[in-house]
Amino acid sequence: MRWLALLGGVLIQLVIGGVYAWSLFGRALQQPDTMGLGHVAATVPFEAAIGMIFVGTSVGGRLQDRSSPRVVALVGSVLYGLGLMLASLARDGGDLWLLVLGYGIIGGFGLGMAYIVPVALLQKWFPRQRSLVTGIAVGGFGFGATLTTPVAQWLLSLDPGAPAAAFLPLGAGYLVLGVIGSLLMFPPPAAEADRTVAATGDLTVREALRTPHWYLLTGVLVVAVAAGISLISMMAGAAVDVAGFDVAAAATIVGVLALFNGAGRIAWAAVAQKVGAVPVLIVILALEGLALIALPHATGLGFVALAAVVYLCYGGAFGTLPAASGAAFGLTHAGAIYGLMLVGWSLAGVLGPVAAAGLVGDGANYVLAFTVMGLVAVVGIVLPLVLRRLPRTPKSAHKGLERDADALLAQ
């Protein structure tokens, strides 16, 4: 049963990971013969979606800890699909509100509900491999844009004058696949849960929020996401304006780079399983920041290589942090605790693209934008360094899991 749950979790993540293909739609929506949106306005639906993720994960995390993860995943997947289908009705600049409501608010809320279920549930199915298994699950989120990109590009080509129309078939397909994945979200049997979750020793949500560990881990997420998403949100445009690729090649690059987003979630999670989460987070922030600083000075394949490093590190933060949270606070309330931690994703997802787009401006000043965001990541290294010096959280971990927790956090 646990392998079916893993399969369902990956399928859900593949579906909702299509949100990272937004830069294709954002560029299409800016064209004068379509909706003619400005550079900043074209990022608003994406920002709204990322901003709503926290609301969805916090609600979904609490509900799945108290009731059925399958039902939470179903509701989230349906809302995500329906939100995109509503967004497909937008036709001109005056319909921006439809994109914000459908793609952003409804779709983002559903995305958050669906996202948190496999992240929390699979740690209970695979307690001794929780870092790797959550990396595999959220790796699907990174790969989602790779699968969505060619489909989205084809749909956009069918009706170039109405790019939002592509959301109708995409939303319908997402809804079907998301429902299938949600039906595989089986909770562990009671006996298995008793062996893997220390119900009396794990921290509650309130207790977790009283520790510095929660805030430092959330801070790492804010920094890693803000830096990486500043590139992801404008990747298609940067590939044209900075690297010199044409529009078709830029679309291909967006899809290829999504592979690195997914691969980073799995690869860094596997490394964290061996050497610990904190050293991995330090390296992730350093590499991400340095690559961003160098990015606007590169062209051609050099640009793609540096962008790939950013995507690897961005994905790596998502692959490493769920298990680090589980190790610090326990698995009993993993959904609610990590769901609240994802406020960092939403906060950075709103501020990162806005800040980057504002720094780029009408003069396409990518040097300023990526240098600032890169420095944010480099300075952010102080957060995991402080975390490394803190004692473990006061939870009395289940004896069978103590060594795993130590390996993830104490090194």
C-alpha–C-alpha distance, residues 227 and 310, integer Å: 8
Q: How far is CA 234 from the centre of its chain?
A: 16
Give the model's confidence band at 12: pLDDT under 50 very low, under 70 low, under 90 confident, else very high.
very high
Query: What is the pLDDT at residue 363?
Result: 64
Please determine, for residue 198, whether its predicted confidence score (pLDDT) is greater than 60.
no
Q: Give me the DSSP letters along 92-122.
A: SGGGHHHHIIIIIIIHHHHHHHHHHHHHHHH
Q: Where are the domains of the chain?
A: 2-409
Cβ–Cβ < 8 Å for 202, 401: no
- Residue in the structure block whose two tokens are 């005056």: 94
Cα–Cα distance, 308 to 296 (Å, whole number): 14
CA distance 340 to 356: 25
pLDDT at residue number 125: 83
Question: In the chain, what percentage of residues exceed pLDDT 70?
Answer: 91
DSSP structure class, residue 202: S
Per-residue pLDDT for 407 more than 60?
no
- Which residue type is seen at 242? V
- Structure-block tokens of residue 18: 């299509």
d(CA 120, CA 141): 15
User: Tens of pLDDT along 331-346?
Assistant: 788 888 888 898 888 8
Radius of gyration of the chain (CA): 20
pLDDT higher than threshold 50 for residue 191: no
pLDDT at 261 over 80: yes
Cα separation of 276 and 60, whole Å? 28
Q: Which residue has the higher pLDDT, 128 or 171?
A: 171
Flag whether pLDDT at 159 surpasses 90: no
CA separation for the pair 331, 148 (Å, rounded): 33
Tell me, which fold does domain 2-409 have in CATH?
Growth Hormone; Chain: A; (1.20.1250)
